[in-house]
Amino acid sequence: MASSASSGFFCLFFLFSAVATEENTTSLDLTTPASFDQNVTFAVTENYTVFETTTTPSSGSTEEEPLLPAEPLPESGRLLTPVTAVDRLCPCDDHTGVCDINCCCDRECSKEVVALFTSCSVPAVSGGRQLCSRDVASYSLRSTMNGYSELQSSVQKETSYNLFCIQAQNRLDGLSHPPPELPTDSNFEWLFKQFTSFIFGSDSGAQVSPGELQASPGYLYEDVMLTVGESGQRGMFWLPAAGLTADCVDNSPAAFLKDQSSQCSRRVVLDQDCSSLPALSINTYTDIQLFAGKQIDAAVVPVKVASIILQSTDDTQSELQISAGENLSPVLLRNSLCANVVLKVTYVIRYNSGGEIVNATVTLVLGFVSDDMLPLEQEFQITYVQEDGGDVAVRYSGNPGYVVGLPLVSGTKTADGITRSIDPRDTLSLLHSAEDQDCLQDPQQRSPVLFGLNSVSGCTLRLVDAENCSLVSHLLLDVLRGPNYPQYVASFGNSHLDNPLDWVQIKNSFSPG
């Protein structure tokens, strides 16, 4: 308590709520609901089909005839280019021949009428989200110097890498297709590469050329981490995972800052594969050299062995004391028992605030495998820890929707789009309230804003001189909302940075008393 008679006590409280509004903004008075209303962000119309026709002039007929294909249908596995343009679709065009108010995709609306629009009733038009590739037409309004509205539109292609995405074909001459080519021993490899290359890629294309490296020195969220081989070639860091079946897919890339855990099985023949199959050997998971960043001259970070656990035939585990030169390669003890088989692999990647890898460790569980334990079950994990931020990393908060109790995903808009900080202190957070917490006393502890949970935050301000209230009010605002306050909140728990329509702007309202 201040000793001066003129001292006073002020208690400031910070209420946070995330609600969807018609302006696609979020108020700073935040109460996070358990569900997000997306009607204001996406007015996506699916399954519209527009048939283009052409009129062939003749002396005796004015009938419209279908557009004939310019070339024969190609071989199986190659889809034809669709003739339906997404920018020709307009679900809000309810009246033919007249302009529908605030319907930004209505071609009947002239520039003079659009100038009076207040918003776009349909900001985006696209096909189904289940498609592997789709065009998205986006519409927005910007204000001119005179205060009128001006239409801005664009068409972008979005690609889905979901294993179960749908390849679609929509054209007039698609009523008849050639019979699909049946897989045989001679063409199976060709068909496999043609239809699955977009899912996992292939070993032949695993090398990364210097031209593909980005200017950012560190890795960004979801970037594939790079490795260097014995001969200096660049590759990708793989983390085995289950594919369409429970079988392990070895060339599944590990994404930066995305914790992963997977279990998969392998079909092995112990007599043949015990000592020869790389997936069973410890060297496959330890002899890895990671690039700290994406630049050509990035430092090389070797993966170090943190510990090795030996699991016996009765599933009891004990830590193995590692000695120099000890050979832990798989060995066939007898026809039905293989020792030193990798059962579990856990990677821990430490990174700094610039997104550069500073340390990588691996913990392995080795054990015995017999014929009655086949197919072999393996487990793979990878976690990311910030070097100067404790044991907390920025993660997704749901897939696709938010999970109650997980932090809201926030970001900042730049010229290149939405960016997320990998520093947890730069995310949407509240001042961590404590009894008699001083607003101006450092350090200030902060807690993330959790989805579906209401929060109230505040602190106590002690003033001796009340003459500088305006200066103090701005200082308190920075204390309450955080030093690097984000501008946008993700609509979904797994919103991607390259889709701005998945992000809701935070509306600030500062009215000092």
pLDDT greater than 90 at residue 33? no
Query: Around Cβ 487, how many Cβ atoms within 10 Å?
Result: 14
- Mind listing the pLDDT tens digit for each residue in 307-330? 888 888 777 878 887 776 678 888
Say how far apart CA 245 and CA 240 lie, in whole Å: 13
Write out pLDDT tens, residues 228-273. 888 878 888 989 988 888 888 888 888 888 888 889 998 888 888 8
At residue 28 the predicted structure's pLDDT band, cuts being 50, 70 and 90, is very low
Residue 179 has pLDDT above 70, yes or no: no
Quick one: how far is CA 128 from the chain centroid?
Answer: 19
Residue 399's pLDDT band (cuts 50, 70, 90): low
3-state secondary structure 404-423: CCCECCEEEEECCEEECCCC
pLDDT above 80 (res 428):
yes
Give strand pairing partners of 339: 331
Residue-wise pLDDT for 91-131, tens only, equals 999 888 899 999 999 989 999 999 999 999 999 998 777 88
Q: Which of 77-86, 219-228, 248-257, 341-350 is the least confident region?
A: 77-86
Confidence of residue 177 (pLDDT cuts 50, 70, 90): low
Longest dimension (CA), the chain: 104
Token pair listed for 210: 């210097």
* DSSP structure string for 466-505: -TTHHHHHHHHHHHHH-SS--SEEESSTT--TT-GGGEEE
Q: What percent of the chain has pLDDT over 90?
A: 10
| Best CA proximity match to 252, nearest among 157, 364, 380, 143 | 380
Average pLDDT, the chain: 74
**pLDDT score of 231:** 80
Shortest CA distance to 266 belongs to which of 293, 243, 296?
243
The residue with greater pLDDT, 50 or 67, is 67
